[in-house]
């Protein structure tokens, strides 16, 4: 893909960000996107610094900090995979060739079926071509599943669900809920084991 196409797609993905998400970001987070540093990578640097600071201050033990770093790296790897899918279009030559082959197949198919099927050849050919062109159109839709088309993955709904869950967890944590009390967990697990 030419660099101009990558830059165009990067600009599109930046412009799709919803304004209400910006209030959730630390100050100065969006400063490097114009230079090619994605928002998730900026956030991962901040989260990694937080994990290190938490370990240095004794908030987490070394295994916990290590596990948090592993989870962060898994998240960044998943982001890289989604970015690869987003920035890799179907080759134009493939699309052209596929449509040409389908057109030739649709033009030749009636001659192969007419002797056995008679007038039913017209309906059968139309049905087969409709099905094959539909499959080709589905393939073109799957090229970029991270947008706002009706058939795209609802990333905003996933983010909103995560936001609600994190808000509940943070409010319970700040309240000192039993949900985060390890003794309560041990008691509950022991009680479940006794059943």
How far is the C-alpha of 85 from the C-alpha of 70, rounded, in Å?
23
pLDDT at 152: 84
pLDDT at 162: 85
* C-alpha torsion 71→82→147→34, nearest 10: 90
* C-alpha torsion 120→125→127→128, nearest 10: 140
N-to-C CA span, the chain: 60
pLDDT at 88: 83
Name the stretches of the chain with pLDDT < 70.
Answer: 1-18, 21, 28, 30-31, 33, 180-195
pLDDT at 48: 93
How far is the C-alpha of 22 from the C-alpha of 25, rounded, in Å?
5
pTM passes above 0.75: no
């Amino acid at each position: 893909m030419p660099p101009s196409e990558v830059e165009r797609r990067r600009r599109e993905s930046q412009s799709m960000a919803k304004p209400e998400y910006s209030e959730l970001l630390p100050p100065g987070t969006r400063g490097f996107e114009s230079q090619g540093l994605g928002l998730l990578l900026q956030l991962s640097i901040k989260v990694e610094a937080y994990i290190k600071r938490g370990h240095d201050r004794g908030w987490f033990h070394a295994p916990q900090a290590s596990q948090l770093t592993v989870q962060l790296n898994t998240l960044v790897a998943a982001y890289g995979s989604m970015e690869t899918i987003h920035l890799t279009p179907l080759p134009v030559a493939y699309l052209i060739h596929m449509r040409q082959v389908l057109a030739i197949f649709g033009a030749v198919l009636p001659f192969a079926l007419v002797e056995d099927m008679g007038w039913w050849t017209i309906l059968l050919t139309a049905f087969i071509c409709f099905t094959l062109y539909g499959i080709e159109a589905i393939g073109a839709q799957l090229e970029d599943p991270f947008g706002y088309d009706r058939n795209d993955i609802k990333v905003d709904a996933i983010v909103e669900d995560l936001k609600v869950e994190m808000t509940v967890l943070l409010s319970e944590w700040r309240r000192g809920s039993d949900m985060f009390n390890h003794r309560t967990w041990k008691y509950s697990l022991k009680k479940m084991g006794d059943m």
